[in-house]
């Protein structure tokens, strides 16, 4: 039954104009797994994440998140996911604390202890500064705080290690492990072979528009 | 889900952005002032002609400033994938549209209210006795303009030629709003014909309602790729 899978893809196709990027993907992913998604630049990793995040519509086929169709039940899908964009996805003219309050309001959650969350990701000193003063790594750390605050069942991470310093990457790995312990499913598009191999339960390769399962040690 | 709260938070975000960056404020204020001055200068010394052109000039300035404001309304959203992130939260697309609309409308309303006295002074038009009706005209006219502007700005936000496409796409749609606004305010300021103005205002209300329902209902097509 579809609801048993965190992610289910059935002959999923997506193209841009005449160029087909995803050429009929099939996948069933159990909840609570951490999965690394590899592929060369332009392979379609971000396209797949955006499809699952309801930001893109499939050209053909189906994508289900916890049994909910990303096109027909987009709202239900969005209740269950949290995303981390390559560049953090933050507004330059808001502060870190304001982002957490905005997210909490939009997700209808209590904001909780925003200061503790920001301390966790190392942004205590910058919590009231506008994001436009942040480095790219700090923006990514804010993205991590927002990810934690979302309390979602599926994390969709696009190149999560990019822009983070060594400590930041360690922190990210720690947060992903913690998420897995809480039963959160994590799908991360990444080029970080070493770290992702150590972190993930399974690895997928997007190659020529098709998905292949890889053993972690065989990841490219 | 408290959609109204989401609308208010999204509007707050956009207004906070504007108060902190001031990018649109500076551009629109400057552009509106220049438009009003140049048009007054072109019309010349004829006081009757100036008075007759006052409301037309006002709405030309509002329209041009509105296009600048609309083009900027998604600028902050497009940086670093912030809008993408916003659209992955469980907020109805309609609430996103209405939030952005509210911010854009409030901005245009304040801008128009600042331009009103400047127009009256520059064009020597007397402030009408039925001024609440003039304020209603400005509120409804700017609302109609913002309804179209925010919708089409969203439609062109991801396009490379968005700056040039936006006015081309939205002006044909926004013309009825502008005509009704000019006629209603002209009737109030010029001849003081409240009954005539009310007729145009009813039309303006009808336009606003139709555009509000239509744009809110189909906005999800605008933001989903």
Angle of CA points A90, A93, A97, to nearest 5°: 65
Candidates A57, A93, A153: best to mutate against B (most CBs of B within 10 A) is A93
Is A207 within 8 Å of chain B by CB? no
A57, A103, A105: residue with CB nearest B5: A105
Helices (H), chain A: 45-52, 74-80, 96-106, 114-120, 136-150, 166-181, 193-199
Other residues' Cβ atoms within 10 Å of the Cβ of residue B129: 11
B80:A54 CB<8 A: no
Candidates A14, A79, A88, A102: best to mutate against B (most CBs of B within 10 A) is A102
Is A88 within 8 Å of chain B by CB? yes
Instruction: List chain B residues with CB under 8 Å of A86.
Output: 81
Stretch A64-93: mean pLDDT: 95
A83:B88 CB<8 A: yes
Crossing angle of helices B93-123/B3-21, nearest 10°? Answer: 50
Angle of CA points B137, B149, B206, to nearest 5°: 45
Coil, strand or helix at B124: coil
Query: What are the C-alpha distances in Å from A132 to residues A135, A144, A160, B125?
Result: 8, 17, 20, 45
Going by the DSSP 8-state scheme, the letter that residue B127 receives in this structure is P
Model confidence at A213: pLDDT above 70: yes
Per-position DSSP letters for A180-192, written without gaps between them: HHTT-EEEEE---
Is B75 within 8 Å of chain A by CB? no
Give the distance, in angstroms, between the CA of residue B56 and the centroid of all CA atoms in the same chain. Answer: 15
A106:B92 CB<8 A: no
Question: Pairing relation of β-strands A19-29 and A60-65?
Answer: unpaired
Contact A140, B85 (CB under 8 A): no
pLDDT tens digits, one per residue of B119-132: 999 998 877 778 89
A103:B89 CB<8 A: yes
Instruction: List chain A residues with CB under 8 Å of B91.
Output: 78, 106
Q: What are phi and psi of A160, to 5 degrees?
A: -65, -30
**Percent with pLDDT over 70 in chain A:** 96
Is A162 within 8 Å of chain B by CB? no
Closest CA to B146 of B97, B87, B92, B203: B97
At residue A2, the pLDDT reads 47
Instruction: Tell me which residues of chain A, numbers 49 to 78, contact chain B at a CB-CB cutoff of 8 Å.
Output: 50, 53-57, 75, 78
Per-position DSSP letters for B156-177, written without gaps between them: HTT-TTHHHHHHHHHHHHHHHH
Q: What is the pLDDT along chain B (225 residues), one digit of tens a residue?
A: 589 999 999 999 999 999 998 888 998 999 999 999 999 999 988 888 898 899 999 999 999 998 888 888 888 888 888 999 999 999 999 999 999 999 999 999 999 999 999 999 999 887 777 889 999 999 999 999 999 999 999 998 878 787 788 889 999 999 999 999 999 998 888 777 888 889 999 999 999 999 999 999 999 999 887
Coil, strand or helix at A65: strand
Query: What are the C-alpha distances in Å from A153 to residues A77, A82, B90, B125?
Result: 10, 8, 13, 63
Q: How far is A139 from chain B (nearest CA, A)?
A: 9
Per-position DSSP letters for A141-157, written without gaps between them: HHHHHHHHHHT-SEEEE
Nearest CA in chain A to B4: A106
Nearest CA in chain B to A151: B89
How far, in Å, CA of A2 to CA of A13, rounded?
19
Instruction: Tell me which residues of chain A, numbers 5 to 44, contact chain B at a CB-CB cutoff of 8 Å.
Output: none
Which residues are CB-neighbours of B193 under 8 A, at least 6 positions away? B187
Model confidence at A124: pLDDT above 80: yes
A83:B5 CB<8 A: no
pLDDT tens digits, one per residue of B16-43: 999 998 888 998 999 999 999 999 999 9
A56:B224 CB<8 A: yes
Is A103 within 8 Å of chain B by CB? yes
At residue A215, the pLDDT reads 66
């Amino acid at each position: 039954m579809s609801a048993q899978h965190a992610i289910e893809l059935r002959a999923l196709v997506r193209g841009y104009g005449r160029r087909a990027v995803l050429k009929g993907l099939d996948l069933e992913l159990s909840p609570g797994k951490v999965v690394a998604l590899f592929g060369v630049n332009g392979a379609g990793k971000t396209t797949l994440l955006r499809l699952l995040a309801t930001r893109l519509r499939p050209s053909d086929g189906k994508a289900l998140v916890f049994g909910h169709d990303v096109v027909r039940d987009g709202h239900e899908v969005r209740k269950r996911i949290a995303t981390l964009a390559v560049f953090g996805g933050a507004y330059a003219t808001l502060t870190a604390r304001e982002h957490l309050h905005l997210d909490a309001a939009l997700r209808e959650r209590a904001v909780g202890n925003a200061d503790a969350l920001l301390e966790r990701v190392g942004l205590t000193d910058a919590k009231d500064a506008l994001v436009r003063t942040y480095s790219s790594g700090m923006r990514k750390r804010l993205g991590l705080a927002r990810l934690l605050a979302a309390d979602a069942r599926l994390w969709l991470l696009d190149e999560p290690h990019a822009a983070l310093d060594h400590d930041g990457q360690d922190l990210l790995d720690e947060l992903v492990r913690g998420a897995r312990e809480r039963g959160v499913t994590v799908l991360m598009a990444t080029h970080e072979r070493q770290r992702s191999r150590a972190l993930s339960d399974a690895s997928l390769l997007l190659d020529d528009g098709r998905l292949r399962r890889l053993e972690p040690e065989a990841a490219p | 889900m408290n959609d109204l709260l989401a609308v208010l938070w999204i509007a707050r975000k956009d207004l906070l952005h504007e108060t902190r960056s001031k990018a649109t404020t500076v551009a629109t204020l400057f552009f509106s002032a220049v438009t009003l001055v140049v048009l007054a200068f072109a019309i010349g010394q004829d006081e009757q002609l100036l008075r007759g052109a006052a409301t037309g000039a006002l709405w030309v300035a509002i329209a041009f400033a509105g296009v600048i404001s609309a083009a900027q309304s998604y600028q902050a959203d497009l940086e670093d994938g912030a809008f993408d992130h916003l659209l992955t939260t469980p907020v109805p697309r309609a609430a996103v549209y209405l939030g952005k609309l509210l911010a854009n409308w409030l901005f245009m309303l304040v801008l128009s209210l600042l331009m009103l006295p400047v127009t009256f002074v520059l064009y020597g038009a007397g402030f009408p006795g039925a001024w609440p009706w003039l304020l209603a005209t400005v509120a409804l006219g700017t609302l109609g303009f913002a309804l179209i502007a925010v919708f089409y700005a969203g439609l062109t936000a991801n396009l490379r030629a968005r700056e040039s496409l936006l006015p081309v796409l939205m002006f044909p749609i926004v013309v009825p709003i502008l005509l009704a606004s000019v006629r209603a305010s002209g009737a109030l300021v010029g001849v003081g014909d409240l009954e005539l103005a009310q007729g145009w205002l009813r039309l303006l209300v009808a336009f606003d309602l139709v555009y509000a329902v239509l744009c809110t209902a189909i906005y999800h097509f605008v933001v989903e790729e």
